[in-house]
Amino acid sequence: MGWDRATPFIIDLQVGAEDIDGLGHANNAVYVTWLERCAWRHSQRLGLDLVEYRRLDRAMAVVRHEIDYLAAAYEGDELQLATWIVDWDQRLKMTRHFQLKRPSDNTTLLRAQTTFVCIELSTGKPKRMPAEFIEGYGPALQVPS
């Protein structure tokens, strides 16, 4: 498929009528929703779901999205969105990369980078990652080749 990095975590998406804006293509805000969905599913796969976040009183909260919209998606398009954890300090910050592709023509529609900070849910303040985050997210970190 030609992903930007090895061993992506991938979700399948289909562009629905509700995703289309007045210009006839998927609205840019929908892409942000897809990024969140992909990151959550990856976290869940790694054993860090909302139940675990609440138990630990910690969460990874978005502090920055950087998105390059490269091509439009249209109603009915079947897409694949990949993510990789590419950087983290094992204390507060983690960075994910994303790539959205349309397999039918192998077009990359979007590349994005999201920075997360670990917060304490009860206060909303930045707080060091618990050991469970290190153990869960650590194996998914993409080591530069």
SS3 content of the chain, % helix, strand, coil (to 5): 25, 40, 35
Measure the CA–CA gap between 82 and 98, rounded to whole angstroms. Answer: 5
| CB-CB contact of 104 with 78 (8 Å) | yes
| pLDDT for the residue 145 | 57
User: Using an 8 Å Cβ cutoff, are 38 and 81 in contact?
Assistant: yes
Whether residue 66 lies inside any domain: the answer is yes
* CA atoms lying within 13 Å on the CB side of residue 50: 3
Per-residue pLDDT tens digits of the chain, which is 145 residues long: 689 999 999 999 999 999 999 999 999 999 999 999 999 999 999 999 999 999 999 999 999 999 999 999 999 999 999 999 999 999 999 999 999 999 999 999 999 999 999 999 999 999 999 999 999 999 999 876 5
The pLDDT assigned to 54 comes to 97
CA-CA-CA-CA dihedral for 129, 135, 140, 141, to nearest 10: 50
Residue 58 lies in a domain: yes
55 part of a folded domain? yes
Residue 119: CATH number of its domain: 3.10.129.10
Dihedral sign, Cα of residue 43, residue 95, residue 64, residue 110 = negative
Residue 89 included in any domain: yes
What's the confidence (pLDDT) of residue 1?
61
Any domain includes 2: no
3 inside domain = no
The pLDDT of residue 42: 97
- Count the alpha carbons within 13 Å of 75 in the hemisphere toward its beta carbon: 9
122 φ, ψ (degrees, to nearest 5):
-70, -25
Please indicate, yes or no, if residue 64 is contained in any of the structural domains: yes
What is the domain extent for residue 104? 9-140
Quote the DSSP letter at residue 3: -
In a domain, 145, yes or no: no
What is the model's pLDDT at position 69?
96
Give pTM, 2 decimals.
0.94
**20: helix, coil or strand?**
strand
From the number of C-beta atoms within 10 Å of its C-beta (0-12, 13-18, 19+), residue 87 rates as middle
Domains contained in the chain, number: 1
